[in-house]
Amino acid sequence: AARSRAPRRESSRSKMAAHMRAWRSYGAASRSASSGGGFSGEDGGESSAGSAGDEESGGDEGPYVPPQMTALAPMLVPEVFPNVPLVAVNRNPVFPRFIKIIEVRNTQLVELLRQKVRLAQPYAGVFLKKDDNNESDVVESLDAVYRTGTFVQIHEMQDLGDRLRMIVMGHRRIRINKQLDVEPEEAESLEEEAEQPKAVRRKQKRSRKDSAPLAEVMEERVREAQFAAEALPLPGVLMVEVDNVVHEEFQVTEEVKALTAEIVKTIRDIIALNPLYRESVLQMMQAGQRVVDNPIYLSDMGAALTGAESHELQDVLEETKVEEKIKQTHRKYLLQEQLKIIKKELGLEKEDKDAIEEKFRERLKDRTVPQHIMDVINEELNKLGLLDNHSSEFNVTRNYLDWLTSMPWGTNSEENLELSQAKEVLEEDHYGMEDVKKRILEFIAVSQLRGSTQGKILCFYGPPGVGKTSIARSIARALNREYFRFSVGGMTDVAEIKGHRRTYVGAMPGKIIQCLKKTKTENPLVLIDEVDKIGRGYQGDPSSALLELLDPEQNANFLDHYLDVPVDLSKVLFICTANVLDTIPEPLRDRMEMINISGYVAQEKLAIAERYLVPQLRTLCGLDEQKAKITPEALSVLIRQYCRESGVRNLQKQVEKVFRKVAFRIVNGEETEVNVNQENLQDYVGKPIFTVDRMYDVTPPGVVMGLAWTAMGGSTLFIETSLRRPRERQGKDGPKEGSLEVTGQLGDVMKESAKIAYTFARSFLMKEQPDNDFLVDSHIHLHVPEGATPKDGPSAGCTIVTALLSLATDTPARQNVAMTGEVSLTGKILPVGGIKEKTIAAKRAGVTCIILPAENRKDFSDLAEYITEGLEVHFVENYSEIYKIVSEMQRESLPLDS
């Protein structure tokens, strides 16, 4: 059948001959040239001289190996190639000498392109569709595409499953003559091949044994392809006959030179704006010709780089007159430039630099900018006018000016100096915290007398959940100041405080400058949270950077690394928060005014829950007072058995948990109204966490209750002593010496305190009971329960002495008594800290009598009456006073010192 059709295809044979000869010479050249490469097969394997015609490498299940790029060698492309597959594309046509990625989804077209590549004919015609909304790769008729397109060479094919990705390079313009007919029998064979699984096709190809030279194999395939050129499958235009488009002769006139120069200038601007276009320009110039000297290539380059409409690009592709081609390419650019000039003359638009400068000066119009800063701004504006818009220094200068002009120079928010109004706001948001509220009202009173405000540096310290952060927001509202918060917990980079140098990529000012820009005032309230958890790393010590920021004598001229001009922070009210003071560096602590916010007792927690937490959380869960109620008794049980910590954060979580379960029951239809009381509380929050208030209801001999406090608040601490082994009065070498062993994960300070207490207890017992030598020759074990909790500090000294004496005399200490205080070797009782927390813990544990150092009387007198109510308090200077108080025999006759 193929031979019978041969007479009709003599012209095709002659046209193919030149192509075959070119490929024969290419095959010989590729064997000798190390840089030669072949066209990619359908699976990416090379078909070159080195592969001896083997079209595929790898097994059926082998991993896909990305295909290699073939050499961009236009001289290998035949000058005449009349029959090509038609690939229809959207939006942008392919221009000669440009590379484009095309994806094909139509299965028949995919198989056709694969067949062409296997036959060493990796060519196609790419034509632009007239309808951009048509996403099909195959058109039904030639009327759906423009007749002028581009002859492309397929350099790479990659199978992506449902589509075929090709990298093609345009070579010349072509025009469609006619659609080629479809031969039914060959169409069926191509359909069958398309329907075969990919693995089967690969297996068939691997079974072929081709020992002939590459050139002969290619010649045979080209000969076979001549008869199949027009026999193509299925409806739609898949193959077309094309002719080359020849440009008209032209003269390089002055107009052409001028337009060429303008296009070159425009392309340079495009490359400066987007360096990615530089790769495309380099591909254009790889052939060694000077593109800028060829108006045809130059117009194609300009059209390919522009973002014009698809029909405008098609007009450039179809134009054969060079002068018109150049004009069409540059017309849009010229019109845009003329439009800019017209708008500028009419005052509708300004140059970018003029607009930027006007914007910056407009910001400063109503602000009182210091003269030395205004000089810097003017200098930077002058420098901005001399820089190129696309240079990196231009962007650095513009960003610097943006920060300088965004600062609130001379802008202050009007403060509230009315004491009654400020007090009302503070009472509205927080319960208790009298020290904090008193200090803020004093600040307002001083400002009112002076007629002006000034900055201060306060530090609120106390356990978590007591309201340190939230009270700062209320203070800002009471003073009518803008509020800004940033946390320094874990911060290790000093640039977060002082800013980065402007020369760094992505440089920006420090947090305090960002604060001033955001709040737009010079007198905001700045909360520096978690100042006791600030870090230190190789990038500097942020706590040292805070020294300048928080020093009232220095922060009037704070110098940020980015702004590099002095900024006045003297009107800023700084408030820092911390849980403990030990980790804050001494120089930094010296700059701050410390205000202690201690934990809450049960009465305070109950008041906070009733006034603030319950109404707020009930609304948050979508409930009202009719649907959900919590009785005060239930809240008391919740506080006593579930939330014993100093703060109210856990109490907030538990109350929210109750309301969530209430909301679920109501929505689920189980109940319409819920009243949470003491009896049904466990249904909402589970079993109690704390079931007993103290470890010993009645303390035996050798056990005494002490008081301790941590960042979480105060707690009771029992000291236990016991005889480790039987006493040995006499050894081989004389009297046997006793010993003391301590356990309970005690710190070094507490271990030393235990040794001091042991020595003093032996001395004291010898004076009180000369015949009692129990502590002299006994091996005693001292333990502090809850061994998993680290314990340290000297305040348990007097408690340890009392426990040792109780063990030595075999007499229990007075019940319901707790004590705290450091003891010296001579029996002096020294002051300790955390008196409020310890007193609260003692009262919570049911203690009726507490013993404190005499020097802590001032701390105890500051406590609220409801905390000290019902407590018998003794202030002592020497341990002998404690011994009289705790001795059971003398308990009734002791005077009360409170």
Dist. CA 818–CA 846, nearest whole Å: 10
Q: Is 838 a catalytic residue?
A: yes
d(CA 88, CA 99): 16
**Pairing outcome for strands 123-128 and 83-89:** parallel
- Residue pair 687/675 in contact by the 8 Å Cβ criterion: no
- Own/partner long-range contacts of 211-217 (Cβ < 8 Å, ≥24 apart): 211/52, 212/53, 213/27, 214/27, 214/31, 214/48, 214/49, 214/52, 214/53, 215/23, 215/24, 215/27, 215/28, 217/53
DSSP letters spanning 49-77: GGGTT----S-SSSPPPPPPPPP--GGGS
Q: Both tokens of residue 708?
A: 């301790």
Cβ count near 226 (within 10 Å): 23
Question: Known binder of ligand: residue 710?
Answer: no
Nearest to 129 by CA among 103, 79, 93: 93
Q: 295 among the known binding-site residues?
A: no
Which residue intervals of 828-864 are DSSP H helices? 835-844, 857-861
787 is in an annotated binding site: no
Contacts of 516 (CB under 8 A, 6+ apart): 407, 408, 522, 524, 567
CA 355, CA 339: separation in Å to the nearest integer? Answer: 17
Asked if residue 467 belongs to a known ligand binding site, the reply is yes
170 is in an annotated binding site: no
Annotated catalytic residue within 795, 806, 836, 843:
795
Which residues 6+ apart lie within 8 Å of 727 measured at CB? 736, 774, 777, 778, 779
Q: Cβ neighbours of residue 857 under 8 Å, at least 6 residues apart?
A: 875
Going across the sheet that includes 593-596, the strands are: 483-487, 525-529, 573-578, 457-461, 593-596
Contacts of 429-432 spanning 24+ positions with Cβ under 8 A: 429/470, 429/471, 429/474, 429/477, 430/467, 430/470, 430/471, 430/474, 431/604, 431/607, 431/608, 431/611, 431/612, 432/600, 432/604, 432/608
Distance in angstroms (rounded) separating the CA atoms of residues 646 and 710: 10
Contact 230, 183 (CB under 8 A): yes
Catalytic residue among 100, 511, 836, 838: 838
- Residue 353, annotated as binding a ligand: no
Cα–Cα distance between 585 and 591 in angstroms, integer?
A: 10
- Burial group, residue 57, by CB count within 10 angstroms (0-12, 13-18, 19+): middle
Which of the 8 DSSP states describes residue 831? Answer: P
Point out the annotated binding site.
462-469
Point out the annotated binding site for ATP.
462-469
Q: Which residues are catalytic?
A: 795, 838
